[in-house]
Amino acid sequence: MAIGILCSGGDSCGMNPAIKSFVDYVYANNETPYFIYEGFEGLIDNKIKKAEHKDVAGILHLGGTIIKTSRSKRFFETKYRKQAFENLQQHNIDKLIVLGGDGSFKGLHVFAQEFPINFIGIPTTIDNDIYGTEYTLGVDTALNVIKDALDDIRDTSSSFKRAFVVETMGRDSGYLTAISAITSGAEICIIPEVAYDLKSIKTRLNKELEHGREYILAMVSEGTKKTEQIAKFLEKSIDIETRVIVLGHIQRGGNPTVFERRMAHSFIINAVDKLLTSSAIQNICVYTKNEFKFMDTTSVVSQPKQLNKELIKQIEFMTK
């Protein structure tokens, strides 16, 4: 039998390092690795191919994913999931590794309830919003991309005595925004998990401007949908020239960090070992308290991840 790997949902810089480790380690265990191109869409369309070492040579430093990814609406329909399973059988694939996020795992959970497939899900999303894991592949590189952008933005902000409102990704999670606000020295941090008080912020910023502050950096999570509101607040209430920058999809790209490459390798080693030594496996591999563990898929997909209380405490002064 064989082991397949696919990427699902948004791309992230942890994917290619994981794909390379997957091919190398599966062959080292005398098993056969298969690529499933274009995620669940490719699984439905039978875009499945045996992987070779040459396919992964020189990909470790690349962002994105060489086997592509997708968001599949068809996978929500039973007839297409049945077609996907039959394609796996055609290639004698009875084990599957899925690099994806919350939506991908929910689809995988339904798939596994209907058909006998062993799988391990590896949390791979820049949002870091998967329940049960402290870290998801891609988040470290995304934070470093944001850090570089913010350093450049602060240069021009200080030169012109301006305010910059920077919107970061993360869906409904404020993790990227909170960490970036702390590590960039932002004056304002607006995330879904914490209430903010513009009246208090106005008092604080005016006092700081009176005592020599010349520019302002405001970090806003896309999930709040408050980017324009904060920009107008700074223009009208603080009376400072303001620019808005939406970082967008550059946060998903870039050269994977050393930490990302190391973690991708470790996730794959743990996932492949589990698949080869256990039966009836339908788990998510998580990283918590400095070790890798396996959680039941139901537990992972049925609960929202809460932002760390200590992290919230560290940014509260930027919200009031």
Residue 320 maps to a domain: no
Residue 63 maps to a domain: yes
Q: Do 128 and 14 sit in the same domain of this protein?
A: yes
| 221: DSSP letter | E
1, burial (CB in 10 Å: exposed 0-12, middle 13-18, buried 19+): exposed
Helical spans, DSSP H, in the chain: 15-28, 39-44, 53-56, 78-90, 102-114, 139-160, 175-184, 198-210, 227-236, 258-277, 297-301, 309-315
Q: Do 130 and 7 sit in the same domain of this protein?
A: yes
C-alpha torsion 46→280→122→112, nearest 10: 50
Are 131 and 89 within 8 A, CB to CB?
no
Q: Do 39 and 93 sit in the same domain of this protein?
A: yes
127 in active site: yes
Are 128 and 143 within 8 A, CB to CB?
no
Q: Do 134 and 11 sit in the same domain of this protein?
A: yes
Report the domain count for the chain.
Answer: 2
Catalytic-role residue among 11, 102, 127, 140: 127
Give the separation between CA 131 and CA 6, rounded to whole angstroms.
21
Residue 61 maps to a domain: yes
The gap from C-alpha 189 to its chain's centroid, in whole angstroms, comes to 20
Q: How confident is the model at residue 157, as a pLDDT?
A: 84
Q: Do 184 and 172 sit in the same domain of this protein?
A: yes
Q: Average pLDDT for consecutive 10-residue bins of the chain (320 residues)?
A: 94 96 98 97 98 97 96 94 97 97 92 93 97 97 97 87 95 97 97 97 95 94 97 96 95 95 98 93 95 96 94 96
Q: Do 174 and 263 sit in the same domain of this protein?
A: no
Residue 245 maps to a domain: yes
Residue 158 maps to a domain: yes
Residue 312 maps to a domain: no
Q: Do 133 and 276 sit in the same domain of this protein?
A: yes
Q: Do 170 and 111 sit in the same domain of this protein?
A: no
Residue 307 maps to a domain: no
Residue 249 maps to a domain: yes
Q: How confident is the model at residue 286, as a pLDDT?
A: 98
Domain with 174 in it: 140-253
Q: Do 177 and 147 sit in the same domain of this protein?
A: yes
CATH number for the domain including 27?
3.40.50.450
Q: Do 150 and 173 sit in the same domain of this protein?
A: yes
Give the separation between CA 204 and CA 209, rounded to whole angstroms.
9
Q: Do 47 and 134 sit in the same domain of this protein?
A: yes
Are 10 and 252 within 8 A, CB to CB?
yes
Q: Do 26 and 117 sit in the same domain of this protein?
A: yes
Residue with tokens 């391990």: 120
